[in-house]
Structure 1
Amino acid sequence: MGSDDALFGIHGTALQIRSQRMSMLASNIANAATPGFKARDIDFNKALDAATGQQAGSVDDAVEGNVGYRVPVESSLNGNTVELPVEQTQFAENAVQYKTTLQFLQGRVDTVMQALKGDQ
């Protein structure tokens, strides 16, 4: 683990994983009409465990090891597995979780800044 773990805990890693997940979900949405496109997603909890557990590796390795293809509820004729409402919901949920993590980290930074300035 890095030197920022005492200050940020797992939240810095969580933010990186959420960012990569947001990109993947955005790609799914962007390719909703692409024939043969297979929607993918990151299992956030497994990726976080892989990145922060006893056998912790890099965030990129943890993410790559926990990417899976989405199984659609309804098959499309063109082989595309993107279900737009599902992807939009997952994207929105992930965005809220990303913002919450970011706000937590900002609070930690603000606390440290106040301590350094001697504010009470």
Structure 2
Amino acid sequence: MASEKLFGLHATALQLRSQRMMMLASNIANAATPGYKARDIDFAKALDLAQQGGSTEGAISYRVPVQASLDGNTVEMATEQTAYAENALAYRSSLSFLSGRINTLSRALKGE
């Protein structure tokens, strides 16, 4: 059985959420780096591209700041922290679903 049949969109969603979390963490880590351009992933677009079997690179874009900084850095800490927290919650939800699905399959295989 293919993982798509067993786990649906959640396995792909988990991978994309992980990728987005790393990108947001990179933005936060570079908040004081002159000229750094904050990036983000359009999750819905990335999921659609992944389902079609394509690369998710087309879902990555540079964030446009509300107010540009003098050093050219586009990281807005409040925006990044909020996006990170929301993404972490969605990641945990997908992980919880997958964990439950694996437990169900494990019990079924054991005949419980």
TM-score scaled by length of structure 2: 0.97
Runs of 4+ in structure 1 off by over 3 angstroms are none
The answer as to 2:28 corresponding to 1:35 is no
Deviations along 1:18-76, one digit per CA (max 9) or x if unpaired, are 000000000000000000000000000000000103xx22xxx21x1110000000110
Percent identity between the two aligned chains: 63
Tell me, in whole angstroms, the C-alpha distance in 2 between the residues paired with 1:49 and 1:41: 16
How far did 1:77 drift?
0.6
Shift of 1:15: 0.6
Matches within 5 A, 1:57-68: 57=54, 61-62=55-56, 64-68=57-61
Superposed CA deviations along residues 85-115 of structure 1, whole A, max 9, x for unmatched, are 0000000000000000000000000000010
| Long gaps (5+) in structure 2 | none
TM-score of the superposed pair, with normalisation by structure 1: 0.90
Aligned residues between the structures: 112
2:9 is aligned to 10
Distance, in Å, in 1 between the alignment partners of 2:91 and 2:22 is: 12
Alignment partners' CA distance in 2, 1:5 and 1:47: 16
